[in-house]
Amino acid sequence: MQEATEVAIIGGGVIGLAIALQLATGGREVMVIEPNEPGSGASYGNAGTIADYAVIPVGTPAVLRNLPSLLFDRDSPLAIRRSALPALMPWLLRFAWQSQPAQAARNAAKLARLLSGASEAWRELAGEAGATDLMRQNGCLYLYASADAFHAAASEIALRKRHGIEQAFLTAAEVAALEPGLPAFEGGGVFFPDALHLSDPGEMMRRLANAAASAGVRFLRTKAEALVRTGAAVHLRIGTGEVWARTVVIAAGAHSKQLAAQAGDRVPLDTERGYHVEFDMEQPPVSRPVCPTARGFYLVPMQHRLRVAGTVELGGLTAPPDPRRIALLERGARELLPSLGSPARTWLGFRPSMPDSVPVIRPSRGGDNVILAFGHGHLGLTLAPATARIVADLVTGRTDPANLVAFSN
Ligand SMILES: Cc1cc2nc3c(=O)[nH]c(=O)nc-3n(C[C@H](O)[C@H](O)[C@H](O)COP(=O)(O)OP(=O)(O)OC[C@H]3O[C@@H](n4cnc5c(N)ncnc54)[C@H](O)[C@@H]3O)c2cc1C
């Protein structure tokens, strides 16, 4: 099979789908190459938060100080598979470097820049996808088990304040009034009052894919195997044949590294694996995403279920799920909500993660007929519509790539 298109997007996760819809509604001829159900990767199982408040990168001086205990304590929200340690070392060294005070502050500034229009861009995208019914605006809550834990978060709170993030400080009693289903959090909470979340990320992906198809996007159910520039065009070898495109966008999430290398970009992309467990119920016991910060997961009310999603496991793309990580999530949820039954389902997904938490959104260094759009780490859902706008501006030549250094890798 031989196909030709103006723009070929590799990867139909939330990033690829948002880009496809944006370009197609702007009149471009677009094809999405995706071997699986669109939106069934990391974009399906996340915590659903549109976290425009989350300007703090994963790597900070505090995380760096605690890294050894975080990595090797079995019950820590951050774990590493020992067998993966040698392969991960270059990424970990870069991560440690990026966790120093000046680097972390610079990375926060880049994220803040990208996040500033994220919620507004999501409202618009959800409108285009006929999916505003899946958006909730109940805010989001970070919770602290003790006054000491709250004080330990002072530098993060100050950094968010510096970037103009609206945050309210709640006493334990105020937290209890807002979320009466939870046990006491003596250290109180930080409340982001305007934060949005999705009541069903999987359903949102289905609507985005349908809206893209209605706008004329063609979906090829196959894998992009190799990318080669040939004159003014880009040639893709796909499972069942080949595709010629004027522009290719690499949006294959955590799987983007090899394709980027073929385009001429050595990018230190790896994955932070994350898990979820879900408990089916009519009325979830929380009414907004709630993050008990020490545990590294969110409790999120979704349609007819409670999703408990998060934690980080460094361990590459091929190892099977670790039942101990799933048990940790389940145990953590039950310690807060003892009446939870058994989870109805569990899930492992692959965050596409850069050592500095800053995504890669720019033309390839090998030539601007390939555009890179991956590496969104913990914020890919949040940043998809904002990324789509930037990529569309690059494709149409409306933006000067020199501006991208303010928020991209
Ligand atoms: C537990 C967890 C909780 C999270 N919570 C949040 C949250 O609350 N808010 C938030 O903003 N973010 C969150 N995230 C992060 C977010 O889910 C990701 O950053 C985002 O989904 C990445 O989107 P993507 O499109 O880049 O990747 P994906 O959704 O993984 O999509 C990439 C797609 O590319 C396809 N692909 C791979 N290789 C090829 C190839 N060679 N050819 C063609 N296609 C290919 C894959 O099949 C896949 O469908 C969370 C992640 C996890 C794991």
pLDDT in tens, the chain (409 residues): 899 999 999 999 999 999 999 999 999 999 999 999 999 999 999 999 999 999 999 999 999 998 888 777 878 999 999 889 999 999 999 999 999 999 999 999 999 999 999 999 999 999 999 999 999 999 999 999 999 999 999 999 999 999 999 999 999 999 999 999 999 999 999 999 999 999 999 999 999 999 999 999 999 999 999 999 998 899 999 987 999 999 999 999 999 999 999 999 999 999 999 999 999 999 999 999 999 999 999 999 999 999 999 999 999 999 999 999 999 999 999 999 999 999 999 999 999 999 999 999 999 999 999 999 999 999 999 999 999 999 999 999 888 888 888 888 9
Ligand 1 pocket test: pick from 248, 255, 347 the residue with the most ligand atoms within 8 Å of its Cβ: 255
Pairing state between β 367-374 and 360-364: antiparallel
Element (H, E) at 260: helix 257-263
Instruction: Report the CATH architecture of 2-44+203-268+357-406.
Output: 3-Layer(bba) Sandwich (3.50)
CA–CA distance, 41 with 99 (Å, rounded to integer): 28
Looking at residue 236, what is its pLDDT?
98
CA–centroid distance, residue 171 to ligand 1 (Å): 35
Say if CB 200 and CB 207 are below 8 A apart.
Answer: no
Cross-strand partners of 366 = none
The domains spanning 2-44+203-268+357-406 and 52-99+135-198+270-353 adopt the same CATH topology: no
CA–CA distance, 195 with 15 (Å, rounded to integer): 20
Could you tell me which CATH number the domain at 52-99+135-198+270-353 has? 3.30.9.10
- Domain borders along the chain are 2-44+203-268+357-406, 52-99+135-198+270-353
Atom 2 (ligand 1) nearest CA: 46
pTM attached to this predicted model: 0.98
Ligand 1 pocket test: pick from 22, 43, 276 the residue with the most ligand atoms within 8 Å of its Cβ: 43
> Taking all residues of the chain, what is their mean pLDDT, rounded to a whole number?
96
Amino acid residing at 337: L
Looking at residue 70, what is its pLDDT?
79
